[in-house]
Amino acid sequence: KEIDRASATRKLRLPGKLADCTQTAAQGAELFIVEGDSAGGSAKQARNRASQAVLPLRGKILNVAGASREKMAASQLISDLIQALGCGTRDRYREEDLRYDKIIVMTDADVDGAHIAALLITFFFQEMPKLIDGGHLFLAMPPLYRISQGGKTLYARDDAHKTELMETEFTGKGKVDMTRFKGLGEMPFAHLRETTMSPKSRTLLQVKIRDDLEATRISVDRLMGTKPEARFDFIQENAAFVTDLDI
């Protein structure tokens, strides 16, 4: 069923920070959730205004795992997000009222960005699991480096990818120019569009819930819940697999 975003909008009080897209159908519409006004400004310049909306979140969203309903209700960030999506939460979730086809979490390619992404995924898992089941939640993959030599320019998503490209793609003569992006707000909007937002050239990771829902729920509670000893136990159990720690 095709959803009319315009009629949905009339029923909602949309957050002021939302830069909405102009098309009326939800099918094909995308919402980019970004951290901070700086990244939000770059994303608004880089987007396709017809089909791509941008919602900047100032600060880190509340960790909803273990948070009271009162604390959640008092969170402006959560209120803005729920209003922008229009589909309700938990038992009141209505797929037909979801105003976007894709919800894309777009955070910096660093530890803080990963933490914000984890908090957002936790929110969707707890409050809108059917949104994930419907295949609507994605993670953007912004690059960390831009590497150029002569007429060749490539982007590296992390340090390991940078090393791989240096050993395979930039082995010729000539100076290699390398730019490390401090964050999405520091990236020229043309580069952000090319690498992260344009459907023609971007890479998205779709968020899915494992078949074993209860095991997933237990893992989320261990990592994001109110018991620090559970996180400590998880780190002890999995530390053998950590080879590079970004702190």
**Fold entry, domain 5-142+194-209:** Rossmann fold (3.40.50)
Q: Pick the catalytic residue: 20, 30, 35, 80? A: 35
Query: pLDDT value at position 195?
Result: 92
* Whole-number pLDDT of residue 71: 87
- DSSP of the chain: ---BHHHHHHT----TT-B--S-SBSTT-EEEEEEHHHHHHHHHHHS-TTTEEEEEE-SPPP--TT--HHHHHT-HHHHHHHHHH-S-SGGG--GGG---SEEEEE--SSHHHHHHHHHHHHHHHHH-HHHHHTT-EEEE---SEEEEETTEEEEESSHHHHHHHHHHT--SSSPPEEEE-S-GGGS-HHHHIIIII-TTT--EEE----S-HHHHHHHHHHHHSS-HHHHHHHHHHHGGG------
Residue tagged active-site, from 37, 97, 101, 110: 110
| List 4, 96, 112, 133, catalytic entry | 112
Res 205: pLDDT: 95
pLDDT in tens, the chain (247 residues): 455 555 554 455 788 789 999 998 999 999 999 988 888 899 999 999 999 999 998 878 888 887 888 888 888 899 999 999 999 999 999 999 999 999 999 998 888 888 899 999 999 999 999 999 999 999 999 998 999 998 899 999 888 999 999 999 998 888 999 999 888 888 889 999 999 999 999 999 999 987 777 677 766 676 676 666 766 676 667 666 555 655 5
Whether 4 is a known active-site residue: answer no
Please state the domain extents for the chain. 5-142+194-209, 145-180
- Radius of gyration of the chain from its Cα atoms, rounded to whole angstroms: 19
Which of these is catalytic: 20, 30, 80, 108?
Answer: 108
Q: Is 108 a catalytic residue?
A: yes
pTM of the model: 0.83
pLDDT score, position 186: 84
Does 221 qualify as catalytic in the annotation?
no
Note if 110 is an active site residue.
yes
Q: 130 with 57: CB under 8 angstroms?
A: no
